[in-house]
Amino acid sequence: MTTAQVNSYRTGPDEKGLFGIYGGRFVAETLMPLILELEQAYKDAKADPSFQAELDSFLEHYVGRPSPLYFAERLTEHLGGAKIYFKRDELNHTGAHKINNVMGQILLARRMGKKRIIAETGAGQHGVATATACARFGLECIVYMGSVDIERQKPNVFRMKLLGAEVVPALSGSRTLKDALNEALRDWVANVEDTFYCIGTVAGPHPYPEMVRDFQSVIGVETKRQMLAREGRLPDSLVAAIGGGSNAMGLFHPFLDDKEVEIIGVEAAGLGLRTKKHAASITGGRPGILHGNRTYLLMDDDGQITEGHSISAGLDYPGIGPEHSWLHDMKRVQYVAATDKEALAAFQLCCKLEGIIPALEPSHALAHVMKIAPMRPKDHLMVMNLCGRGDKDIFTVADILGVKL
């Protein structure tokens, strides 16, 4: 790929749903009319001020937005360099950024007259957010979840059930997030009339990467406003963790054309990039086609998809949103990786210094902050997206630390 200058990094995707060569609509013919219908419905909603007003109202009163931009003073002192801010999306209702996107999609589903909602989930956060919004609006909710993940994330499975959702185990393939996505697509093919597929990240066929990005962009829009109010200028750098990449895209997108802002996405390096046990699609994968879009993927030499591994169940997806792939090729965003071990150390440090138990996903972003903040001057403003809280992860962490609960 060339890195030819573009006037703006924020105009994508094109009418075919492409960001450069990434994205697209690689789906079975049965789904094509539905995807075109969704694209049109989203276009109409976007142009309708009453849709945005309704969404804003739910984000304020139900989700609890805006989330604070918090100066992490003790962490800043400890690292001795850049001034570190946390964007506190872990304070949202349901404990993560996922609900921002879900509210948007569920309001759209209602607008389209769809009564049955399906979703995929890995760690369970997107499933819980979807079950929550469905309960709020009285919609039928079916969540596909790999049977391996159901075993690993029992508290979230119970939460979804309490909220009235049906949790269906994905028993095919490797029985994790990618297989849950396959099962959700299979459901959609069989139930085209009444079903809305609520995808949890900036992946899938067009228009999902664009739509989910737009709904998550509230994170970056708020950050910009809050930083201008606090410091009178834009941040110098942004850091966010990436699985599929929705929290990162939400923070990054409003800043893409502010060329002085350094932007860094942190993938999960698992046991290390030299092992096969990681989930770093960009730093350790290559372009291919899966789940409706072309993007960087983890796969073998024959084009067979391999498993991602990460301590964080929310990051072990073998792909990444197509817009991230494009931003990588264009060199606008820098993609790095943090290991399980580094994320765990960051998790513990955040608990002790800031009194915040972060999810293991943003702990990867924090691990990178710990690496680079000490080398930056004291007037460097760094924002890290604290996209989820860690209550769901205490069992995993206790297990690794050898503590019996």
- Contact positions toward another protein, by CB under 8 A? 16, 24-34, 172-173, 178-179, 182, 185-186, 189-192, 288-292, 294, 297, 299, 301-305
CB of 30 to another protein, least distance (A): 4
CB of 197 to another protein, least distance (A): 12
- Nearer CB in complex with another protein: 85/144: 144
In sequence order, which residues have a C-beta less than 8 Å from that of residue 15 and are 6 or more positions away?
A: none
- Nearer CB in complex with another protein: 22/215: 22
CB of 183 to another protein, least distance (A): 9
CB of 172 to another protein, least distance (A): 5
- Nearer CB in complex with another protein: 63/305: 305
**Number of helices (H), then strands (E), in the chain:** 16, 14
Instruction: State which amino acid sits at residue 400.
Output: I
- Nearer CB in complex with another protein: 83/291: 291
Q: How far is CA 336 from CA 32, 55, 201, 256, 269, in A?
A: 35, 34, 19, 18, 9
Quick check: helix, strand or coil at residue 197?
A: strand
CB of 251 to another protein, least distance (A): 29
- Nearer CB in complex with another protein: 66/169: 169
CB neighbour class for 304 (10 Å; exposed up to 12, middle 13-18, buried from 19): exposed
- Nearer CB in complex with another protein: 83/178: 178
The count of other CB atoms within 10 Å of the CB of residue 354 is 19
**Residue 136, token pair as written in the block:** 């709020």
CB of 31 to another protein, least distance (A): 8
Q: Among residues 371, 366, 189, 338, which one has the least CA distance to residue 272?
A: 338
DSSP-derived secondary structure for 83-150: EEEEE-GGGSTTSBTHHHHHHHHHHHHHHTT--EEEEEESSSHHHHHHHHHHHHHT-EEEEEEEHHHH
Q: What are phi and psi of 217, to 5 degrees?
A: -65, -15
- Nearer CB in complex with another protein: 64/303: 303
In angstroms, the CA 204 to CA 251 distance is 20
CB of 374 to another protein, least distance (A): 41
CB of 388 to another protein, least distance (A): 26
In angstroms, the CA 292 to CA 24 distance is 7
- For residue 116, the cross-strand partners are 140, 195
In angstroms, the CA 197 to CA 119 distance is 6
**Cα torsion 277, 281, 286, 288: sign:** positive
In angstroms, the CA 341 to CA 338 distance is 8
- Nearer CB in complex with another protein: 292/314: 292
23: left (phi over 0), alpha (psi -120 to 50) or beta: left
CB of 145 to another protein, least distance (A): 16
- Nearer CB in complex with another protein: 171/228: 171
CB of 192 to another protein, least distance (A): 6
- For residue 22, the cross-strand partners are 19
- Nearer CB in complex with another protein: 179/267: 179
- Nearer CB in complex with another protein: 215/317: 317
**Residue 109, token pair as written in the block:** 């589903």
In angstroms, the CA 56 to CA 63 distance is 10
CB of 33 to another protein, least distance (A): 5
